[in-house]
Amino acid sequence: MSGECCGPAEGGPSQDRSRGEQSAERLWQVRELRLAAVAAVLLAAGWLVGLAGAELVGLGFELAAAVAGAATFVPGALRNLLRRRVGVGTLMTIAAVGAVALGQFAEAALLGVLFSIAEGLEHYAIARTRRGLRALLALVPPTATVLRDGGEQQVAPDDLAVGDRMVLRPGERAATDGVLHSGRTSLDLSAITGESVPVEAGPGDTVHAGAINGGGAIEVDVTAPASDSSLARIVHIVEEAQDRKGRGQRLADRIARPLVPGIMVLALLIAALGLVLGEPLVWIERALVVLVAASPCALAIAVPLTVVAAVGAASRTGALVKGGAALEELGRVSTVAVDKTGTLTRNEPQVVATIAADGTTEAEVLHIAAALEARSEHPLARAILSAAGSPSPADEVTAVPGHGLRGHLDGVALRLGKPGWISPGPLTDDVTHWQQLGATVVLVESDDTVLGAVAVRDELRDEAPETIRRLRALGIDTAMLTGDNTRTATALAQQAGIDTVHAELLPEDKAGLLEKLSNGRRIAMVGDGINDAPALATADVGIAMGAMGTDVAIETADVALMGEDLRHLPQVLSHARHARAVMLQNVGLSMAIIAVLIPLAAAGVLGLATVVFVHELAEVLVIANAIRAARTRPLPDTTPVSPNHDRRPSIVGKPGPESGGCCDAC
């Protein structure tokens, strides 16, 4: 059981045994269940022999059954007593020894059988969920093909070194992370991200460990040893997360820890009452029954087992949940704030229009814009450069924060930036038109004369409207937070079906808005894990989108969605709500059983055999219910974007002229 239940010390023999149980793939391989079976057979034999008239032989069988059943918890309880630890194993040991001392061998044996069954089922359930997680590592092939010494060689994944060049043939899995050196292909990441749609990849693209090559043969340059691949880090992070305690688990711990010594004091008082009333044996027996009735074993495992099952299941659908605390908070979220660029959109902006003023050509406008953006790393700059090619950089380029760029080309002073910093002049209607279509517009100016404008648009993800509908079906409010201009944000929000938009925000503005948006309820922030770091840290739950292979996102967010499909968001929120409901059911059942059994045991209404049966049955029910938290559903096929013109979003932006800047968008 857990530390409050049976309390094995770290590194002790019980922990070694637990590791052994994790390798048991069948119920009959679990040590506790084997001993329980032996004890049950001996108990049945004793009962049959007793019926045949050989009572002494029958008692011998019953005593042997009690010893076999007690072997699963008595040694651990004695070790814990030496370390000054008292747990439920201690209570069960006292009850078993007391029953034997009173001559109730059959009751002691039944206690051992049922307690061993419950303990064995718990170990098996935990081992099963952890095996499912560790199965991710089985995605790494046993050998890898590398190019060495002028030829191909087969090596173990652990022998791969950074700089090696792997060869992946059609249908083969990548043994570790790398960068595609040559060839084009489609990569199947479904086992890692939970998304069935293959990802197209070409030279320079990242290839993650466990990815299946769906095209022709490719060559991949190794960028990480197999032990430090993205797949290995995922497994390590989730295993750590499963050990973290959430609020519900801490509540169960706080209840269980003082409850054990309190139960022992109560049992002593009941036994002492027998001395006063003159019936010591009767009240000692009742005290032993109370010890068993009040044992909080089911309570102690109610939350941890649910967390292990739920976190492990989430990881197999492409969501890393960082422990019980994050799981509980995620299950309480009622508002989701979503970043625009890279979250609601594809983060692949493209030039959709170039507008030239009189006396200028579209090619000239695009050439000048690209010259000013030549050394910029902004996503909009990359879109302009992709459309214009590789022009010579402009001279003396300086950035004007929040506005745009200044520079010189062939001795002419130029500016590139948002409407408002640069007046659109005769292009006002064109700028407004493209902003209403969801594009970000930047203007090009020479010596206070507008030369033209470039419209860049980052398309909405196909699954975004469906995602928002699913969040609304869960009763979750949504809001878009973006640094882009109000018109662009309005158009994208209307397509996605989002009601509330906060536009023209700086990163710190997003963080400051969360408390207002939450209105006292739990709020989650969804972003890319880097640009939205302040907001992710401020929210009750920070959710990083598309975090596969991104160390910063995986390490900083409470939840990391490994894939690019936005529908993972309602999927993981629904999963967390289900897991939290299971936790509350388990805690409620555990407390109810204790509350009902204690007075009945103390009054002598229930005997030891009945209490043992009811109590251990409740524990089995808790275990079975906790396993329900491992249920997940795969994502359905993606549906195309269908603009929602019936809903008009409520826009909240900064006062002042409309902006379309490449400098504060996203």
- Catalogue the active-site residues: 339
Q: Are 344 and 641 in contact (CB under 8 A)?
A: no
DSSP reduced 3-state for 313: helix
Write out 213-257 in H/E/C secondary structure. ECCCCEEEEECCCHHHCHHHHHHHHHHHHHHCCCHHHHHHHHHHH
| Alpha helices (runs of H) in 519-607, residue ranges in sequence order | 533-538, 551-556, 568-602
12 DSSP 8-state letter: S
Q: Are 203 and 220 in contact (CB under 8 A)?
A: no
Task: Give the C-alpha separation, 498 to 477, whole Å.
Answer: 9
Q: Are 111 and 81 in contact (CB under 8 A)?
A: no
Environment class of 216 (CB within 10 Å of its CB; exposed 0-12, middle 13-18, buried 19+): exposed
Q: Exposed e or buried b for every residue in 260-288, given b needs 16+ CB within 10 A?
A: beebbebbeebbebbeeeeeeeebbbbbb
Nearest residue to 543 via CA among 36, 532, 365, 551? 532
What are 182's strand-pairing partners?
219
What are 194's strand-pairing partners?
none
DSSP reduced 3-state for 565: coil
Q: Are 129 and 313 in contact (CB under 8 A)?
A: yes
Hey, what's the torsion of the CAs at 17, 23, 26, 31, to 10 degrees? -10
Write out 590-625 in H/E/C secondary structure. HHHHHHHHHHHHHCCCCCHHHHHHHHHHHHHHHHHH
Owner of token pair 């963080």:
511
Q: Are 568 and 575 in contact (CB under 8 A)?
A: no
- Tokens for 304? 């941890």
Task: Give the C-alpha separation, 514 to 521, whole Å.
Answer: 10
Q: Are 344 and 566 in contact (CB under 8 A)?
A: yes
Ordered strands of the 199-201 beta sheet: 199-201, 185-188, 212-213
